[in-house]
Amino acid sequence: MGAGHAHRLYRAADSPVHALPPHTKLAAVFCFVVVVVSTPREAMWAFALYAALLAAVAYAARVPLPYLLKRLLIEIPFVAFAVLMPFVAEGERVHFLGLSLSESGLWGAWNVLAKGTLGVAASVLLASTTELRELLLGLQRLKLPPLLVQIASFMIRYGDVITDEMRRMKIARESRGFEAKGVRHWGVLAKSAGALFIRSYERGERVHLAMVSRGYAGSMPVIDEVTATRAQWSYALTLPGAALFVCLMGWML
């Protein structure tokens, strides 16, 4: 999340995955994650197959593996939590290297780790093969309320501007010798947040007036309507389809 520029998430390339319409990719990723989450955790091989499926997608999308792994670092907090789990969970204990670990805790840790990682990897692949604007259009195609999509697109567009504004305020504070060391400095940070709110809100009012003066009446015109052919849909849904097959196998075996 800490990455300032949202568009850095996108990795331009010319691949079949990049060329797919955004809403098919969104639907595919969502179905894939649902399938992964509903797989029984005992079927360890199933998760290996899921990972292989994602690796195949990454290969097709020409996303290099180190890049993908670097982006996976976002889940470190959950990893820490999962590592703790075998120590605090209830149930039968197993002894390993002199540590007393809970068996169900180990299963739980595996469960969260495997499913969480696959979910994050799928989202990362989506974000690095789909442009932001396309992603928003795709959400709109998937019947998200248009107003919500508009709000989201404003957030994305102005997120960088507002974050930069905050960064400049930080530089201004630091150039005057301020260093946030503890509770005593919260007041300064809060005043910065207050100033940032006023600036954001006033910018919102200006943006609104600018839009009204250009004929905005509550809905954005869609100029590049995205549509998907049956072939594109079936191509995109190969991933969740294969995952569903693995999942069913996992339940039956």
Check residue 240 for interaction with another protein (CB under 8 A). Answer: no
Check residue 134 for interaction with another protein (CB under 8 A). Answer: no
Q: How far is CA 194 from the centre of its chain?
A: 28
Buried b (16+ CB within 10 A) or exposed e, 57-74: bbeebebeeeebeebeee
- By beta-carbon proximity to another protein, the closer residue of 158 and 233 is 158
Check residue 66 for interaction with another protein (CB under 8 A). Answer: no
Check residue 187 for interaction with another protein (CB under 8 A). Answer: yes
Let me know: does 232 contact 32? Beta carbons within 8 Å: no
Check residue 204 for interaction with another protein (CB under 8 A). Answer: yes
Tokens of 68: 């993908």
Check residue 226 for interaction with another protein (CB under 8 A). Answer: no
Q: Give the range of 49-57, 59-67, 89-97, 237-245 binding another protein by CB under 8 A.
A: 89-97
Residues in contact with 235: Cβ distance below 8 Å, sequence separation at least 6, in sequence order? 16, 20, 24
Q: Give the range of 12-20, 53-61, 181-189, 226-234 binding another protein by CB under 8 A.
A: 181-189
In this chain, which of 116, 131, 178, 232 binds another protein, going by CB under 8 A?
A: 116
CB 190, min distance to another protein, A: 3
Check residue 212 for interaction with another protein (CB under 8 A). Answer: yes
Q: Give the range of 11-19, 118-126, 228-236, 242-250 binding another protein by CB under 8 A.
A: 118-126
Q: How many residues does the chain have?
A: 253
Write out the DSSP string of 51-107: HHHHHHHHHHTT--HHHHHHHGGGGHHHHHHHHHHHHH--S-EEEETTEEEEHHHHH
- By beta-carbon proximity to another protein, the closer residue of 172 and 208 is 208
CB 246, min distance to another protein, A: 15
Dihedral of alpha carbons 13, 17, 18, 19, sign: positive
